[in-house]
Structure 1
Amino acid sequence: MNPKLLFLIPLLPLLGAAVNILVGMRLRPLWRGGIAVVSVALSFALACLAWPLSAGEGTRTLLATWLASGGLRADFGILFDPLAASMTLMVTGVSTLIHLYAVGYMEQEQDTARFFALLNLFVFSMLCIVLADNLLLLFLGWEGVGFCSYGLIGFWYARLDNARAGQKAFLVTRVGDVFLAVALLWLFTATGHLGIPEINAAAPSLAPAAVTAIVLLLLAGASGKSAQLPLMTWLPDAMAGPTPVSALIHAATMVTAGVYLLCRLFPLVSLSPTGLAAITLVGGLTAFYAATCAVAQREIKKVLAYSTMSQIGYMFIAVGAGSVSGAMFHLLTHAFFKALLFMGAGCVIHLCGEENDIHRMGGVKKKSPFVFWMFLAGALCLAGMPLSGGFFSKDGILLACFSHDDGIHRLVWLLGLVSAFLTSFYTFRLLYLVFAGEARQRTHPHRLSPLMRWTLPPLALLGLFGGLLNLPPAWGGNEMLKHLLAVANEWTADVPHGTEYALAVMAAGLFLLGLLAAWGRYRSYPGDQPNGIKRFLLAGWQADTGIEWTLLKPFRALAIFFGLGLDQTVIEGGLRLLADGAHRQGELLRRSVTGRVTTYVHGFAWGLLALLLWFLLETVR
């Protein structure tokens, strides 16, 4: 296969977006969705055919030079190595299923040309991040997914809350983007390169303090896109967008971009112990924070949103523990089962007449046993059922964290265990409240399109059996992903099989304990009994309120002070006083211009007298 054909992988979705932008409104709705689906499906097919090009060090190919000035050179180049290839297959494969699902989900909508154009453009931007061989092209894709998420989250912009959710996602992620831009400029200044392989190769020559500062900047940038503390507040509100958007952005693509960035630059990241510890701590705290919030959520998609935040935290823990293969393993399995859960949630919402509140649902299993079994498959993976894909990927991360004997990693390992129990509990809470018992509210179910149904089984199979991708030796596997990725400086956990089995039994026990706790509490609907703790968790630990009082209100106060106080009162007021003074002086002078000769003769006489007095005084001196 000609390496130049690799450029078609991102360009095909871009072409699909261009067609829908230019002529989509003149096409039938089915054609709009069909163009979007075919463009992404062809991209997936090409990625499969191009897999041999990723062998060894991979293939690096150049299309054209983007910028060249002095020492600055940025190309439209692709780096198709095992890390990029595996990520590309996941993004294009899962995105194809989500696009198919979206055709059925959006069949009653009118403005689908804009929707599918943004969806295709989003996939193009994500593929730019994944395949870029230099940081400037990666940053172009990074900003592209931010723009598309703004448009997709606020797709129903006529509802003010949806428009605000899109704005919030755009602005909060921009904060992280600023830190990433600083890191990019610093790396170019320090190494003279923008190419990712060149930067990784030059990393050992950088000063340790500079490496630590750059890694912390990268962490801040990754935290914005991946909704980690403290830049996590945008993700729950992003559920305002259509469900296919939630599945695409919050399962397979945008929220994983931060994890991928840290893995892509891991040879640099691994040189800073402080940076690795910070990544681990951010991941552990976010996993715990989001899991506690998910326990109290009422909206079905917000439960899954906080769950996504928590699972991305596990991926950050893996990177901080030095296990790139562990992070990528959980990234892949999570993409499968979380896309399944979001798409299943969309089916549930349709069956419940567009109701989102899980306390008003119930009895959905009777309405659609098929949706129940599909949702159950994803839920078991999320909760960490033994032998499922989610069990092996999450267990591998906890094992990597446990293999470090310092205090931070042991603390984060404990946070990971507590988060695993909470994950099992809120997952089965969701299942009981949505599917068990009788319907708690009369609704008019909407028809489920066949496309919405039959895109679920492939994801269910991938989620349940995804553990085979990186099965550890203790379970009879060969850690295929670890050997495939072979990232420099990756941590190798030296843990006896007995310890590994003991940790696996502990993880299975936490899964069972969460199931039993949810069964005891929710097997028969207990009714919603809000209290202070529930309200605190429902509001995400009042994070938005804290940001409002610590950042936004002081900023608005300063804006009012400088806008009304300094600008309008002092500057404009001072200028107005000067103008009024000049105007008054002009009025006085105007009154002296009467047009009468006698007035002018008097003025001349007084002026002559003044001159004579001045000459007299000068003579006396």
Structure 2
Amino acid sequence: MENLLFLILAFPLAGALANVLLGSLLPRALRAGLAVGAVAASLAATLVLWPLAAGAGTRATLFTWLESGSFRVPVEILFDPLSASMTLMVTAVSTLIHLYAVGYMEEEVDTARFFALLNLFVFAMLLIVLADNLLLLFLGWEGVGFCSYALIGFWYARTKNASAGRKAFLVTRIGDVFLGIALLWLFALFGTLSISSVNAQAATLGSGTLLALSLLLLGGACGKSAQLPLMTWLPDAMAGPTPVSALIHAATMVTAGVYLLCRLFPLVSLSPEAMAVIALVGALTAFYAATCALVQTEIKRVLAFSTMSQVGFMMLAVGVGSVSAALFHLFTHAFFKALLFMGAGCVIHLAAGENDMSKMGGMRKESRFLFWMFLAGVLCLAGAPLTGGFFSKDGILLADFARATPFYWAIWLVGSLTALLTAVYAFRVLYLVFLGEPRSRRRKSPYLPGLMRWTLPPLALAGLCGGLLNLPPLIGGNELLKNFLGPLAGAELHVSVGMEWLLVLVATALFLLGWALVHWHFRYAAGVPGGRLGDFLYRGWRADEVAEILVVRPFRVVGESLWHWGDRRLIDAALEGAGRLCMAGGERLRHWSTGRLSTYLATLAWGAAAILVYFLFRAL
């Protein structure tokens, strides 16, 4: 029975292989149907096999992948409450995104390649989630990196798209180096790469080793989850098709880093210093990205910075010791962020490819349905009371406040300020795109494909009602997700009922203040950024320029120096010199090949004389 768990992985992999091998021979509808059906089958398998996640979960081994002496790596997966809940989210959201992609890509020619990569992306993410072996997890980790590169640069004929794909690949590779070092170190310490064994033996490590390992894991997570300082690739990743953006931001890729830290939480949590660093990185990234989102003019870039910020909240939750709060926000964010990206794709489609919000306005009149769907996503993102985003985000801030130290209270202030900024930039998008009058004459697309339209309501409902997944006892809930996770949920953090109500009121006030600021501002201005501060934030605090100065230019100088002095002057000179020497020697020997008998006899005589002299010296 437990081996049926591998069907969850097998279906999307089979869908990818079918489109790779046969996609170009199949009708367009069948290509898309294979891709959607593969992910939907994975979702169905997850639901059918859900009972196997109860208690400590179920472990299944397919075969031994690598074995040498004491080193053994089985293809082994663990279906426990943590991985099962994550698998359900990935497959459910990915199914809706695949359906949406069918309508979005209906005029695209190369859909076989697109859907093969989309299925492979889901397979790689599921491999990360289900793996009970760090090497198998690393295989999925590299798989999502490759798929993101290929899908971000899907329209590779455009230089911007190809460059964005390369940037995502190279920046995330930096984080992969940290994770690779951590895996090698863990194997050297424990002689195994089993995640369960590593977590069980983590308490035997010294504090310094735990801190170093945790920081290496954090470095790997920062690369995939676009956290400081490895965050510059995510805004540029918007160059890919909108379904790719939705998949990366909602169900795969950027959530992988958070899941890694949750999966290895028993190890990470043993180092208070590492936990503080994780919380700090999360809070600073959340604030940084929220300030950048305030002034972006392209709708998808706003949502990209928003994802970076919301993942920062998830990192903050891990840092304060609450895995349940991190996963709760991960799930609700997946619902409303997929909704917002897919809604943004619909907006761009109706605007005939226009992505600049400063040229939009008045979209509500063109599609009231789309307005209400997008409004649902904005309310969840901004933290409107009783929405899923409200409960999950404020659960993180509550857990942080409950740590009751000056350091964590300072982080709570940063998180609360970020929540205010989130409400501001979320409503700014709504006002710029849907309200008011059109600010430019634009071509209009004649219709919105049905699959693009009807995949939005399920996500809107899930986002608005997502709080039911982990409703707090304060309002009569039973924290369903926290109880399901059991010991995996992390530390128990409590504050008094009065303080909890006060924090709820603060969160509500921040939401209302953010909406009021945007409403007041847009009565008198168009909302387009300007000035030095606006330019500074628009350019992402000039992070790309800093990376250019500190990393790219020195790397280029070193590379050019090695090419000039090492390659050309040393290696090429040595090889070319050896070639010239051989040619010169051959030229001299050529003069001895005259074809004259007298020359050959003289050569034979001189050779015989040399041999005689040699033996004469040896005899003496």
TM-score by length of 1: 0.93
Deviates more, 1:560-569 or 1:546-555: 560-569
* 1:454 alignment counterpart: 454
Tell me, in whole angstroms, the C-alpha distance in 2 between the residues paired with 1:78 and 1:592.
74
1:582 to partner: Cα distance:
9.5
SS for the counterpart of 1:467 is: helix
Tell me, in whole angstroms, the C-alpha distance in 1 between the residues paired with 2:581 and 2:12.
66
* 2:167 alignment counterpart: 168
Deviates more, 1:203-212 or 1:405-414: 405-414
Change (3 A) 1:138 1:590: closer
1:490 to partner: Cα distance:
2.0
1:427 to partner: Cα distance:
0.5
Amino acid at match of 2:559: A
CA contact (8 A) 2:175 2:223 kept: yes
Q: Deviations over 1:572-596 (max 9, x none)?
A: 457767887999999999999999x
1:432 to partner: Cα distance:
0.4
Amino acid at match of 2:407: I
Amino acid at match of 1:235: L
CA contact (8 A) 2:381 2:426 kept: yes
* 1:149 alignment counterpart: 148
1:486 to partner: Cα distance:
1.9
Change (3 A) 1:582 1:142: closer
CA contact (8 A) 2:295 2:528 kept: no
1:50 to partner: Cα distance:
1.0
1:444 to partner: Cα distance:
2.5
* 1:550 alignment counterpart: 550
Amino acid at match of 2:533: I
Change (3 A) 1:205 1:159: same
SS for the counterpart of 1:60 is: strand
Identity of matched residues, %: 62
Change (3 A) 1:567 1:482: same
Amino acid at match of 1:512: L
1:155 to partner: Cα distance:
0.5
* 1:390 alignment counterpart: 389
* 2:610 alignment counterpart: none
Tell me, in whole angstroms, the C-alpha distance in 1 between the residues paired with 2:460 and 2:134.
35
1:442 to partner: Cα distance:
2.3
* 2:74 alignment counterpart: 75
* 2:269 alignment counterpart: 270
Q: How does 1:165-564 map to 2 (within 5 A)?
A: 165-446=164-445, 447-488=447-488, 490-523=490-523, 525-526=525-526, 528=528, 530-564=530-564
* 1:618 alignment counterpart: none
Change (3 A) 1:362 1:54: same
Change (3 A) 1:586 1:6: closer
Change (3 A) 1:39 1:529: closer
SS for the counterpart of 1:493 is: coil
Amino acid at match of 1:549: I
Tell me, in whole angstroms, the C-alpha distance in 2 between the residues paired with 1:74 and 1:259.
24
CA contact (8 A) 1:267 1:487 kept: no
1:487 to partner: Cα distance:
3.2
1:556 to partner: Cα distance:
0.7
Tell me, in whole angstroms, the C-alpha distance in 2 between the residues paired with 1:219 and 1:354.
38
Change (3 A) 1:285 1:541: same
SS for the counterpart of 2:453 is: helix
Tell me, in whole angstroms, the C-alpha distance in 1 between the residues paired with 2:366 and 2:90.
32
Tell me, in whole angstroms, the C-alpha distance in 1 between the residues paired with 2:384 and 2:274.
32
Change (3 A) 1:358 1:80: same
Amino acid at match of 2:258: V
Tell me, in whole angstroms, the C-alpha distance in 1 between the residues paired with 2:107 and 2:154.
14
Change (3 A) 1:454 1:573: same
SS for the counterpart of 1:79 is: strand
Amino acid at match of 2:136: L
CA contact (8 A) 1:98 1:248 kept: yes
1:162 to partner: Cα distance:
0.2
Tell me, in whole angstroms, the C-alpha distance in 2 between the residues paired with 1:463 and 1:584.
79
Q: Deviations over 1:507-528 (max 9, x none)?
A: 1111111111111112455263
Amino acid at match of 1:517: L
CA contact (8 A) 1:324 1:487 kept: no
Q: Deviations over 1:390-449 (max 9, x none)?
A: 000000000111111233312211110111010000001110000011112222322211
SS for the counterpart of 2:487 is: coil
Tell me, in whole angstroms, the C-alpha distance in 2 between the residues paired with 1:523 and 1:73.
66
CA contact (8 A) 1:437 1:524 kept: no
Change (3 A) 1:590 1:349: closer
1:56 to partner: Cα distance:
0.4
Tell me, in whole angstroms, the C-alpha distance in 1 between the residues paired with 2:499 and 2:373.
34
Tell me, in whole angstroms, the C-alpha distance in 1 between the residues paired with 2:584 and 2:60.
75
Q: Deviations over 1:81-104 (max 9, x none)?
A: 000110011000000000000000
Change (3 A) 1:189 1:436: same
* 1:17 alignment counterpart: 16
1:277 to partner: Cα distance:
0.8
CA contact (8 A) 2:384 2:508 kept: yes
* 1:601 alignment counterpart: none
1:567 to partner: Cα distance:
3.4
* 1:63 alignment counterpart: 62
Deviates more, 1:524-533 or 1:166-175: 524-533
Change (3 A) 1:334 1:582: closer
SS for the counterpart of 2:338 is: helix
CA contact (8 A) 2:322 2:399 kept: yes
Q: Deviations over 1:21-66 (max 9, x none)?
A: 1111111111111111111111101101111111100111111111
Amino acid at match of 2:493: A
Q: How many residues align?
A: 601
Change (3 A) 1:111 1:488: closer
CA contact (8 A) 1:436 1:523 kept: no
TM-score by length of 2: 0.93
Deviates more, 1:22-31 or 1:296-305: 22-31
Structure 2: which 5+ residue stretches go unaligned?
599-620
Tell me, in whole angstroms, the C-alpha distance in 2 between the residues paired with 1:537 and 1:193.
46
Tell me, in whole angstroms, the C-alpha distance in 1 between the residues paired with 2:151 and 2:471.
36
Tell me, in whole angstroms, the C-alpha distance in 1 between the residues paired with 2:545 and 2:327.
34
Change (3 A) 1:511 1:580: same
SS for the counterpart of 1:487 is: helix
CA contact (8 A) 1:270 1:489 kept: no
Change (3 A) 1:580 1:31: closer
Change (3 A) 1:231 1:527: closer
Cα RMSD, aligned residues only: 2.4
Q: Deviations over 1:445-480 (max 9, x none)?
A: 222111111100010011001001111111111111
Q: Deviations over 1:306-333 (max 9, x none)?
A: 0000000000000000000000000000
Amino acid at match of 1:228: Q
Q: Deviations over 1:486-539 (max 9, x none)?
A: 235822112001101111111111111111111111245526352211111111
Runs of 4+ in 1 over 4 A off after TM superposition: 570-595
Tell me, in whole angstroms, the C-alpha distance in 2 between the residues paired with 1:570 and 1:254.
43
Change (3 A) 1:67 1:436: same
Tell me, in whole angstroms, the C-alpha distance in 2 between the residues paired with 1:589 and 1:454.
84
Amino acid at match of 2:220: G
CA contact (8 A) 2:82 2:488 kept: no
Tell me, in whole angstroms, the C-alpha distance in 1 between the residues paired with 2:130 and 2:581.
66
Tell me, in whole angstroms, the C-alpha distance in 2 between the residues paired with 1:67 and 1:493.
42
Tell me, in whole angstroms, the C-alpha distance in 1 between the residues paired with 2:482 and 2:136.
27
* 1:600 alignment counterpart: none
Q: Deviations over 1:582-612 (max 9, x none)?
A: 99999999999999x9xxxxxxxxxxxxxxx
Amino acid at match of 1:376: L
1:13 to partner: Cα distance:
0.6
SS for the counterpart of 1:486 is: helix
Change (3 A) 1:487 1:577: same
